Amino acid sequence: VLDAYKTKKAAEAEAAAEGLKRAQESGESAERIAELKKKWFDLAVESEIRDPEVLWNARNGKFDLSRPVYQHLKEKAWLARPLEVLMQRLLQMFVLPDLLDPRVVGTPEAQLNIAMSGESVIEPGSIIDPSNAREQLDIELVTFHEDSRLHTLAMIDLDEPFEEQQTFREQFHWIVSNVPFSMNQIKADIGAGNVLLPYIPPHPAKGTPVHRYAVVALEQPENGQQRIDSADVSRDMVLRDFVAQHSLRTVGISFFRASWNESVDAVYREVLNLPPPSYGQMPIPDKTIGPDGRRINLYEHY
């Protein structure tokens, strides 16, 4: 019975694909094309959704995203648990609203995965060794749409010390524009993009709290078709201003955390060409010690 149902739906999906092809060739309206594409997609999913092999692959994280059924199951899996965990940690650790207004961002529509070179994906909010991020990050963006769209990727430290105002501010570690993503192209091809700010590794200074490092995927204007070949950028600008200036839309976000260890000092010396800074709390004055450094006689003012 299952095989007969699968065969029936596969035939209907094939007929829908032919109808879609004819509509595209005859130049029918975009609305009509979208309607036929959805009909084909739904039938293609229905023809395989009960296949035991497909379900086993999905349970074990094996998604062939060139097939509609796996696209459907991947999005369903993302919405079920990973998205909930991501939003919980973004809000609990104040990445939102420190970085972006959650009312504007809403719910990320794409799954952004961060990995160190050759390593597994970093869970949102995980604490890593800064030395593991010495090289440029590997980024995946599962967008759940078939058409290729251009995105700007940015990595920001939310906790860079701002000594003049005795507080913290954002510092951009990396910006790359014109990076294409689609359902069939989820790995970031940085070589195809424009590097607006070269990558610098995380370098949380000694004596500062744990730093939050966010990576955001920003869809470019005109539904991801408008290029951004150059932009006036700096390491100490504000992400909200950059997003507004270039009419970008946040579609994916994730983050990790890191704190100082000895490998950070090497980044300051070898990459930034700066002496490693060291921060700490102001010493509490000892009221029993006078300006001359000698202990005060408690009875001398009696």
3-state secondary structure of 158: strand
- H or E element at residue 153: strand 149-162
CA distance 108 to 88: 12
Check whether 288 has a pLDDT greater than 80.
no
Q: Which of 2-6, 77-81, 247-251 has the highest mean pLDDT?
A: 247-251
Residue 291's pLDDT is what?
Answer: 66
Check whether 282 has a pLDDT greater than 70.
no
Residue 217's pLDDT is what?
Answer: 98
Q: What share of the chain is helix, strand, coil (3-state, %, to 5)?
A: 35, 25, 40
Q: How, if at all, do strands 211-219 and 249-258 pair?
A: antiparallel
Q: Given pLDDT bands bounded at 50, 70 and 90, which one contains residue 163?
A: confident
CB 202 within 8 A of CB 213: yes
Q: What are phi and psi of 100, to 5 degrees?
A: -140, 155
Model confidence over 94-146: pLDDT tens digits? Answer: 999 999 999 999 999 999 999 987 778 999 999 999 999 999 999 999 999 88
Check whether 247 has a pLDDT greater than 80.
yes
Give the whole-number percent of the chain exceeding pLDDT 70. 95
Identify the residue whose tokens are 């349970």.
59
Give the whole-number percent of the chain exceeding pLDDT 90. 78
Q: What is the mean pLDDT of residues 155-183?
A: 95
Closest C-alpha to 197, from 150, 156, 142: 156
Residue 133's pLDDT is what?
Answer: 95
Q: What is the DSSP string of 168-195?
A: EEEEEEEEEEEEEEBTTB-B--GGGSEE
Model confidence over 19-74: pLDDT tens digits? Answer: 999 999 999 998 998 899 899 999 999 999 999 999 999 999 899 988 999 999 99
The residues that bridge with 179 in the sheet, in sequence order, are 151
Residue 302's pLDDT is what?
Answer: 41
Check whether 233 has a pLDDT greater than 90.
yes
Residue 289's pLDDT is what?
Answer: 73
Work out the mean pLDDT of the chain and round it to a whole number: 92
Check whether 183 has a pLDDT greater than 80.
yes
Check whether 300 has a pLDDT greater than 60.
no
- Would you say how long the chain is, in residues? 302
CA distance 44 to 64: 14
